[in-house]
């Protein structure tokens, strides 16, 4: 025993020093079955691991070639099956608004996603009552799956929210931020926002957004997910309270690429974390197709969540007829065989997008307005033509147009002339290329590495036991007190009463004067 005592003391000292030097255990769950929701945070997980922390990551897209005892990945990709059953292109052509899609389809889908997470065999072992697992912080996606917030309560750790899309109004309101339904940064209202909107349009936006917030908080999303979480964890505090107590929210958005907005101190923005340092090689035939495109080429993709094969035949014909007339080659992400395609069009189910955007012969990127694609096209300096399909994409393409680095068209009403003219304008007018190169310089003009900054903030939350000083007290105040609406209503009533009393008094005075005049006239006559 005496011989083992020095060794035991040495091990204890090493463990103590490691803990004091900031080697933490980090749990992360990113449940959305979408590659574009996963890749913005991959470098963060690797950076945290590089800093000596132990990372347990539940993801729908595990990072390949990770072999480390301190980096555990839990595959929750089963939920891809349900998301692939959704046809967002068809919904666009049916005229459905994003908030309607969320209410009708996404809320049931998020239940399935939450079940996939909570029912994961590996995760159940972690959160089981008899489990001895401990963590120092919990990071999870803040996107319609609040049942996953229960892990923060189970392990009694601070929670950091993640978002691969622009800031969601539901989250901003929960954290104490302003809700301005008609402001251009409120992307959920799609193309119904802007400056100097008519009163009736602003009134409609106001009612629609506040109804949505109330409905999700108290009738649909939060209550349903609360019941689901308690099915696995037992009694839990209200999920809305957990949301209000979030330590930080990491938002994937470049400040220059969205409308300026007031920002809470516990909201941290970053951009372009997924840009590849080493590009994926192209296939030989595609490389040749692009290299010999002496006039240049156009790249067309609707992203990973929308499919070109879902486009109606008449829209495909418009695209094909215009592409065939152009002097450029076209690379089109098309998920099936395409008989009768123009000779200058190259199709494929998947392409290494960043490699294509980095090719010197590219002239234009036609896309659906995805956030990561917007970041990539700015990084590689390629003007865009946007066909928004879902979610924040209307906001994205509108912003790209406002920045002068692209244009947008409505794909459901696409006409040959407008498509051909727009493509020609974007390629031949040098102002779009010059402008996007300027925007690229603005985006890249930062004093620090964004991913290392996120890692530092993660450690900061642990060191400060949840960083409570960064949370806004407005999160815990009733909605009517946040903007002093009760005072506005009170003063309105007071002013109304004073005005009414004043008018009543004036009316009485006028009646009295009128009677006095009549009485005087009668006396004169008599």
- Say which CATH topology domain 21-271+448-479 has: Rossmann fold (3.40.50)
User: In 3D, which of 142, 164, 167 has the Cα closest to residue 240?
Assistant: 142
Which fold is adopted by the domain 284-444? Rossmann fold (3.40.50)
Does residue 15 register a pLDDT over 80? no
Judged against a pLDDT cut of 90, whether residue 56 lies above it is answered with yes
Cα distance between residue 265 and residue 437, in whole Å: 30
pLDDT band of residue 16 (cuts 50, 70, 90) is very low
Residue 14 has pLDDT above 50, yes or no: no
pLDDT grade, residue 11 (50/70/90)? very low
Residues 323-374 have pLDDT tens digits of: 999 999 999 999 888 888 999 999 999 999 999 999 999 999 999 999 999 9
Domain range annotation of the chain: 21-271+448-479, 284-444
With cut-offs at 50, 70 and 90, classify the pLDDT of residue 233: very high
Kindly report, residue by residue over 103-160, the tens digit of the pLDDT: 788 788 889 999 999 999 999 999 999 999 999 999 999 988 999 999 999 999 999 9
The b-or-e profile of 262-271 (16+ CB within 10 A means b, else e) is eebebbbbbb
Sequence-ordered list of residues with C-beta below 8 angstroms from that of 304, at least 6 positions apart, any chain: 34, 35, 36, 370
What are the pLDDT digits (tens) for 33-46?
Answer: 999 999 999 999 99
Lowest mean per-residue pLDDT among 68-77, 293-302, 475-484: 475-484
Q: What is the pLDDT of residues 399-437, one digit of tens each?
A: 899 999 999 999 999 999 999 999 999 999 999 999 999
**pTM of the prediction?**
0.87
Distance CA 414, CA 418 (A): 7
Domains 21-271+448-479 and 284-444 share a fold: yes
pLDDT at 260 over 90: no
The distance from CA 96 to its chain's CA centroid, rounded to whole angstroms, is 19
Q: Is 60 exceeded by the pLDDT of residue 18?
A: no
- Look at 168 and 47; give whichever has higher pLDDT: 47
Structure tokens, 204: 């409609």
User: How far apart (Å, rounded) are the C-alpha atoms in residues 466 and 247?
Assistant: 5
**Of 187 and 494, the one with more pLDDT:** 494
Q: What stretches of 325-391 adopt beta strand conformation (E)? A: 329-333, 345-348, 362-367, 384-386
């Amino acid at each position: 025993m005496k011989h083992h005592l020095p060794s035991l003391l040495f091990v204890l000292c090493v463990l103590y020093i490691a803990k004091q030097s900031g080697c933490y255990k980090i749990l992360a769950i990113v449940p959305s079955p979408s590659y574009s929701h996963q890749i913005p945070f991959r470098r963060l997980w690797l950076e945290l691991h590089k800093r000596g922390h132990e990372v347990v990551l539940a993801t729908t897209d595990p990072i390949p070639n990770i072999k480390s005892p301190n980096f555990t990945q839990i595959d929750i990709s089963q939920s891809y099956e349900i998301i692939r059953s959704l046809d967002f292109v068809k919904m666009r052509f049916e005229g459905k608004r994003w908030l309607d899609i969320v209410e009708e389809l996404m809320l049931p889908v998020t239940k399935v996603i939450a079940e996939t997470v909570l029912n994961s065999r590996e995760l159940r072992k972690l959160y089981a009552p008899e489990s001895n697992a401990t963590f120092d912080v919990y990071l999870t996606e803040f996107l319609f799956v609040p049942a996953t917030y229960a892990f923060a309560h189970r392990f009694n750790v601070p929670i950091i929210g993640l978002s691969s899309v622009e800031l969601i109004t539901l989250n901003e309101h929960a954290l104490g931020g302003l809700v301005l339904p008609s402001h251009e940064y409120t992307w959920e209202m799609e193309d119904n926002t802007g400056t100097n909107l008519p009163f009736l349009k602003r009134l409609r936006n106001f009612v629609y957004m506040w109804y949505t917030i109330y409905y999700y908080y108290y009738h649909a999303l939060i209550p349903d997910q609360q019941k689901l979480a308690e099915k696995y964890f037992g009694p839990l505090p209200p999920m809305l309270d957990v949301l209000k107590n979030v330590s930080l929210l990491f938002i994937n958005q470049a400040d220059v690429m969205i409308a300026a907005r007031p920002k809470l101190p516990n909201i941290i923005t970053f951009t372009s974390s997924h840009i590849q340092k080493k590009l994926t090689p192209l296939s030989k035939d595609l490389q040749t197709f692009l290299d010999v495109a002496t006039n240049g080429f156009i790249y067309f993709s609707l992203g990973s969540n929308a499919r070109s094969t879902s486009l109606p035949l008449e829209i495909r014909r418009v695209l094909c007829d215009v592409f065939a007339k152009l002097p450029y080659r076209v690379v089109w992400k098309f998920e099936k065989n395409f008989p009768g395609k123009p000779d200058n069009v190259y199709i494929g189910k998947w392409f290494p997008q960043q490699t294509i955007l980095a090719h010197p012969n590219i002239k234009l990127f036609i896309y659906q307005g995805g956030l990561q694609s917007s970041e990539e096209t700015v990084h590689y300096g390629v003007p865009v033509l946007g066909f928004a399909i879902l979610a924040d994409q209307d906001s994205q393409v509108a912003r790209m147009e406002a920045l002068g680095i692209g244009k947008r068209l409505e794909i459901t009403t696409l006409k040959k002339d407008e498509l051909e003219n727009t493509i020609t304008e974007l390629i031949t007018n040098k102002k779009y290329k010059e402008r996007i190169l300027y925007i690229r310089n603005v985006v890249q003009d930062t004093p620090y590495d964004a991913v290392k900054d996120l890692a530092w903030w993660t450690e900061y939350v642990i060191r400060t036991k949840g960083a409570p000083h960064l949370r806004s007290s407005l999160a815990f105040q009733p909605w009517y007190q946040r903007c002093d609406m009760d005072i506005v209503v009170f003063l309105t009533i007071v002013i109304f009463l004073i005005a009414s009393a004043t008018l009543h008094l004036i009316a009485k005075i006028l009646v009295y004067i009128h009677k006095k005049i009549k009485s005087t006239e009668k006396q004169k006559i008599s």
